Structure 1
Amino acid sequence: MLNKIPNIIFESQKPNNRGIEVITIESLAKRKNLVDHDPQKAHQVAFNMIVFYTEGESKQLVDFVWHTVKKNTIIHLSKGQVNAFQFTNSLKGFIILFTEDYLKKQVNSLPKNEIIRLFNSQLFSPIIEVPSDSNVEEYIHLFAKEYFNSSENYNQENIYSSLHTIIFSKLERLKQYQTFHLKRSDKLNKFLDFKSLLETHFSKSRNADFYAEKLNITYKHLNTICKDIISLTAKQFIDEFIVLEAKRLLVNSEIKSTELAYSLGFEEPTNFVKYFKKHTRFTPNQFKKDYI
């Protein structure tokens, strides 16, 4: 039986930690043979993460897609996404990890658009390219300096919180320039409602009409919303969501493809295999072997 990929939980090395940690890419690369999982192999994160590359060039895996990274590249991941690094000798940078609870505490001090833009993988690429004239690096260096300074503990949590808010706001500004400018609107709100319903009912229905009815709109209207927000039809979005959910479950559990088929709402396992192969060109077992 194939093993599952590791599910990495938040375990800070710092005492009295409040849900946020900073490590360097170099230190993680050195630890790869000392920890119980290899960061260069696919693993699922149970926290949120921002990776800022300051030197070198390589690749990073996010939800089964390899992205090229270089100096001034930022990768952001949400809880539940699949990640892997490719370490090179010249690679340097910082990794900020924070729990879902920490993010929730920060929500009140962050603009709503910012949360949507940085932590909604269906809406935006995980990559931000930081311009050379940006001072984001200075704030991340300052954050790391504060974190690694073990002699100063007074009011440290508030300092972390303030720097975290500044960094997020800086990243949001960069993100809005590098993607279409997404503002709160009736269409966006309805799309987010659709996404929320899909997360709840995906095992019950893969039919766009089902979700349109629950949203009290027509199938045509839901399609228009999806095309405007993510440039996909409602059905295409549903299929992408189901396939990604299947991939994550395949590589991060010992579930058999037959059991997975039923859990995803397929009446026959053979239908799931055909569906998965149609969208990935692999059978579920082939895909699992490839990533473990």
Structure 2
Amino acid sequence: MQKKVPQIVFDSKKPENSGIEILTIESLASRKTEIIDHNPEKAHQVAFHMIVFYTQGESKQLVDFVWHPVKKNTIIHLSKGQINAFQFTKKLKGYILLFTETYLKNQINNSPKNEYLRLFNTHLFSPSIQVPQDSNIIRYFDLFYEEYNNHTEDLNQQNTYKSIYSIIFSKLEGLKQFQPFHLKQSKQVNIFLDFKALLELHFKASRNADFYAEKLNITYKHLNTVCKATVSITAKQFIDQFIVLEAKRLLINSDIKSTELAYSLGFEESTNFVKYFKKHTGFTPNNFKKNYL
């Protein structure tokens, strides 16, 4: 039995790559048996950001333990660290755009920051976007793929990549309005993002919503109101979802024992962690790992 989910790193074969790559879904599907370190149809953790644009066919794609249906004009976006798996079907076609954390940060310095916060905030939005028929975003994926596979020496090639990339991101940000749940930048969204950032830093120290409200200089009631307005759950429920997702990722991506995992997540006793995990998932940590793999 496979002991853990493989972590896939950014490994472009293109010389002097600046941290971005594009390939087709069908090319990945055709060589899946040739890939030694992992099968893209099996769960794997990505160590980079990824945008998948489906241009033909129907299937589904796994994102953080949830299968999302895909069809023509579906876009799936994943952030670094998320769990991914494809399901290739005969008529499935499209593009896979990969880029590193460093590349993303460099782009943030030159673009409106909220575009990147919104697109890659996995708790605020679904990873799936359905592109309207009249959108022209496919032209820019086509153009990027054409430029990326242009073997002519061009000293300005990296700037060309950055320009097309910026257009694609602006287009994707605009498409967010077509999602059923769409949030505009607001004071509540900003408070939620600050809360999430604090949780990422201190979740090992506290799972208490009062702890985070105090650090934000707001009341527990106010933090609950913010969470309900942005993600439709209470602050405590969001904390629990965050902890459970971290636990799931660690469980399937390492040989860590439940005792070690409990301590790494801030639980003083492993039995308390097992009860907590089972309460929120219906599985013990060991059973979850066995069932998932």
Report TM bin, short chain: over 0.9
Q: TM-score of the superposition, structure 1-length normalised? A: 0.97
Residue 102 of structure 2: aligned partner = 101
Cα deviation digits, residues 61-82 of structure 1 (max 9, x gap): 0000000001110000000000
Secondary structure at the counterpart of residue 66 of structure 1 = strand
Secondary structure at the counterpart of residue 109 of structure 2 = helix
Residue 181 (structure 1) shift: 4.3
Aligned length: 292
Residue 15 of structure 2: aligned partner = 15
Cα deviation digits, residues 218-255 of structure 1 (max 9, x gap): 11111111111111100000000000000000011110
Amino acid at match of 1:19: G
Structure 1 segments, 4+ long, off by >6 Å, are none
Residue 83 of structure 2: aligned partner = 82
Is the alpha carbon distance of 1:181 and 1:89 closer, same or farther for their aligned partners in structure 2, counting shifts above 3 Å? closer
Aligned partners of 2:291, 2:150: CA distance in 1, in Å?
Answer: 42
Residue 139 of structure 1: aligned partner = 140
Q: Is the 8 A contact 2:25 2:95 kept in 1?
A: yes
Q: Show structure 1 runs of 5+ residues with no match.
A: none
Aligned partners of 1:145, 1:152: CA distance in 2, in Å?
Answer: 14
Residue 152 (structure 1) shift: 4.2
Please list, as runs of the form range in 1=range in 2, the aligned pairs for 1:5-44 lying within 5 A after superposition. Answer: 5-35=5-35, 36-44=37-45
Q: Show structure 2 runs of 5+ residues with no match.
A: none
Amino acid at match of 1:223: N
Residue 191 (structure 1) shift: 1.2
Q: Is the 8 A contact 2:65 2:83 kept in 1?
A: yes
Residue 113 (structure 1) shift: 2.5
Aligned partners of 1:15, 1:75: CA distance in 2, in Å?
Answer: 27
Amino acid at match of 2:274: V
Aligned partners of 2:114, 2:180: CA distance in 1, in Å?
Answer: 13
Q: TM-score of the superposition, structure 2-length normalised? A: 0.96
Question: RMSD in angstroms over aligned alpha carbons?
Answer: 1.3
Residue 4 of structure 1: aligned partner = 4
Q: What is the percent sequence identity of the aligned residues?
A: 73
Residue 19 (structure 1) shift: 0.2
Q: Is the 8 A contact 2:61 2:87 kept in 1?
A: yes
